[in-house]
């Protein structure tokens, strides 16, 4: 059966794409075919050269002002660019999304600012989870309205019961793709501009964590340390146990603990110069490396007598077993990774019979305890982040109710006239409880003024 002929010339000359078959054929056009269209446009006076005073080259755009250029070469390039833009206007959201991702990979910064393969992988995974297979991904970007996006987001929230953070990520992908389309001049208007997100975001199911869920109380710490010490008696060479103890004493990150080298423990200080990182690749398995600390922020932690005693204990265990260790948390065979330290604290929490905690929970607790006696700037210097970050994310409430009661009682202690205790002379129970049809009424207590 012969393939039907399509008159693409008429549609292109008028700037109109009138069916999907035309669009598919135009996407396959080579430069030569586009130049043929240009010549055809000249022959049909869609592109022409002015006469008289205004002798510039021009071409018509449906519903828009004509394009003016001084030379024919410039008008030719402008016309071909316009035709190519018409093609891009017909791409689906799926095509736009993956072109946007490719663009982000190509123009991202170098070194620490470079977009990571794990980030790209998250974009693609979220797209597959929430958008793939929907009618939205097949829709032409020129036909997608603000209401279409809102309906998509509402369906995602209702179907997947996502959190606010996840919702904001998905919105960011969609906004990023359409912003890229506008930069590339695939679209004139951005359908994301008028999005009303608050009502949809309000349907997200967030898990609200109390400060007790993200910190370690004194009671939990006691049980956890006891469980660690009991396991050390059985397995003295299992180094992740010691790593957790050092986290309690310093608030170090899990990657910094895993990468701590003995030559960084000297002169009464711990020099945080290394951290473990996972490098993800798109075409091969992930790789664990030792690199610089987070945000390349090197810092120094003073060694207290307690910290020194722990280092002496670890050093003695390694020497007794003839281990020539480069890393602090290393046994006869290997260095222990951050993942292994994370698994260890989970198992010790189970042994201790307390809720599951992680190294970051210990870090938050250390931060909160240090701020009881140190200024925020000093705490930030020890933990390795900015004062703003410390205030936003490392400021949990760890005080007991008694601590708070004592603090409230201590307010304005020197101002005894703040309260007049002589106003209430006596408390009289003037209404005695009595039974009535099997019911007991509570007494009413009236306070008589002096």
Please name the helix (run of DSSP H) or strand (run of DSSP E) that holds residue 325, with its range, or none: none
Evaluate whether residue 38 is within a structural domain.
yes
Cβ atoms 13, 40 nearer than 8 A: yes
pLDDT band at 431 (very low <50, low <70, confident <90, very high): very low
Instruction: Give me the pLDDT at residue 273, please.
Output: 94
Evaluate whether residue 302 is within a structural domain.
yes
Domains: count for the chain: 3
Instruction: Give me the pLDDT at residue 401, please.
Output: 62
Where is mean pLDDT largest: 265-269, 400-404, 433-437?
Answer: 265-269
pLDDT band at 120 (very low <50, low <70, confident <90, very high): confident
Instruction: Give me the pLDDT at residue 29, please.
Output: 47
Considering the chain, what is the average pLDDT of its residues? 80
Instruction: Give me the pLDDT at residue 252, please.
Output: 93
Instruction: Give me the pLDDT at residue 395, please.
Output: 60
Where does residue 70 rank: exposed (0-12), middle (13-18), buried (19+ CB within 10 A)?
A: exposed
Full domain range(s) for residue 298: 212-393
Instruction: Report the pLDDT averaged over residues 115-143.
Output: 89
Evaluate whether residue 23 is within a structural domain.
yes
pLDDT band at 367 (very low <50, low <70, confident <90, very high): confident
Which has the minimum average pLDDT: 181-185, 200-204, 392-396? 392-396
Pairwise CA distance, residues 85 & 184, whole Å: 9
pTM of the model: 0.61
**Percentage of the chain with pLDDT > 70?**
75
Asked if 258 and 118 sit in the same domain, the reply is no
Pairwise CA distance, residues 110 & 100, whole Å: 19
Asked if 351 and 367 sit in the same domain, the reply is yes
Quote the tokens at residue 308: 């020194």
Evaluate whether residue 195 is within a structural domain.
yes
Burial 272-289 (b: 16+ CB within 10 A, else e): bbbbbbeeeeeeeeeeee
Evaluate whether residue 450 is within a structural domain.
no
Cβ atoms 365, 396 nearer than 8 A: yes
Residues counted in the chain:
450
Pairwise CA distance, residues 230 & 251, whole Å: 22
Asked if 240 and 326 sit in the same domain, the reply is yes
Phi-psi region of 375 (alpha: psi -120 to 50; beta: other; left: phi over 0): beta
Residue with structure tokens 């003295």? 236
Pairwise CA distance, residues 435 & 65, whole Å: 92
Asked if 223 and 366 sit in the same domain, the reply is yes
Evaluate whether residue 341 is within a structural domain.
yes
What is the number of other CB atoms lying within 10 angstroms of the CB of residue 200? 21
Instruction: Report the pLDDT averaged over residues 348-366.
Output: 94
Instruction: Report the pLDDT averaged over residues 119-136.
Output: 91
Nearest partner of 450 among 432, 427, 419, 418, judged by Cα: 427
Q: Check residues 32 and 329 and name the one with the higher pLDDT.
A: 329
Q: Is the dihedral of CA 28, 30, 32, 34 positive or negative?
A: positive
Inform me whether the pLDDT recorded for 419 exceeds 80. no
Evaluate whether residue 400 is within a structural domain.
no
Instruction: Report the pLDDT averaged over residues 335-348.
Output: 96
Domain boundary among 146, 179, 201: 201
The crossing angle, in degrees rounded to 10, of helices 93-107 and 164-183 is 90
Asked if 293 and 176 sit in the same domain, the reply is no
**CA dist 76 to 69, 142, 185, Å?**
9, 25, 18
User: What single-letter DSSP state applies at residue 444?
Assistant: P
Cβ atoms 295, 113 nearer than 8 A: no
């Amino acid at each position: 059966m012969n393939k039907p002929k399509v008159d693409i010339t008429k549609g292109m000359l008028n700037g109109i794409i009138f069916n999907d078959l035309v669009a598919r054929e135009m996407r396959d056009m080579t430069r030569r075919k586009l130049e043929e269209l240009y010549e055809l446009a000249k022959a049909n006076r869609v592109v022409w050269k002015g006469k008289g005073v205004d002798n510039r080259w021009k071409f018509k755009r449906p519903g828009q002002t004509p394009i003016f250029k001084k030379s024919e070469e410039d008008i030719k390039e402008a016309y071909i660019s316009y035709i190519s833009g018409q093609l891009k206007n017909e791409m689906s959201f799926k095509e736009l999304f993956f072109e946007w991702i490719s663009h982000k990979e190509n123009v991202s910064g170098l070194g620490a600012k470079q977009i990571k393969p794990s980030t790209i992988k998250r974009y693609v995974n979220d797209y597959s989870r929430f958008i793939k297979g929907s009618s939205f991904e097949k829709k032409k970007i020129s036909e997608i309205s603000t209401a279409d996006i809102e309906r998509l987001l509402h369906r995602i929230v209702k179907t997947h019961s996502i959190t606010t953070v996840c919702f904001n990520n998905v919105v960011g992908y969609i906004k990023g793709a359409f912003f890229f389309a506008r930069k590339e001049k695939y679209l004139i208007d951005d359908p994301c501009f008028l999005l009303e997100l608050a009502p949809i975001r309000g349907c997200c199911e967030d898990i609200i964590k109390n400060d007790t869920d993200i910190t370690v109380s004194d009671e939990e710490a006691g049980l956890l340390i006891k469980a660690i010490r009991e396991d050390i008696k059985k397995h003295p060479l299992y180094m992740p146990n010691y790593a957790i103890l050092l986290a309690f004493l310093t608030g170090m990150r899990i990657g910094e603990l895993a990468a701590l080298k003995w030559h960084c423990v000297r002169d009464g200080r711990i020099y945080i110069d290394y951290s473990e990182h996972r490098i993800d690749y798109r075409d091969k398995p992930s790789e664990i490396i030792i690199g610089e600390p987070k945000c390349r922020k090197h810092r120094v932690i003073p060694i207290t007598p307690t910290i020194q005693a722990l280092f002496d204990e670890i050093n003695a265990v390694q020497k007794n077993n003839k281990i020539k260790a480069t890393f602090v948390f290393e046994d006869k065979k290997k260095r222990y990774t951050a993942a292994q330290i994370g698994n260890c604290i989970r198992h010790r929490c189970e042994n201790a019979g307390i809720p599951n905690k992680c190294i970051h929970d210990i870090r938050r607790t250390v931060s909160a305890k240090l701020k009881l006696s140190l200024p925020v700037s000093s705490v930030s210097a020890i933990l390795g982040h900015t004062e703003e970050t410390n205030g936003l994310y490392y400021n949990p409430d760890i005080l007991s109710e008694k601590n708070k009661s004592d603090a409230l009682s201590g307010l304005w202690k020197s101002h005894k006239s703040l309260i007049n205790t002589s106003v209430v002379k006596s408390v009289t129970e003037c209404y005695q409880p009595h039974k009535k049809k099997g019911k007991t009424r509570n007494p009413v207590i009236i306070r008589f003024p002096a």
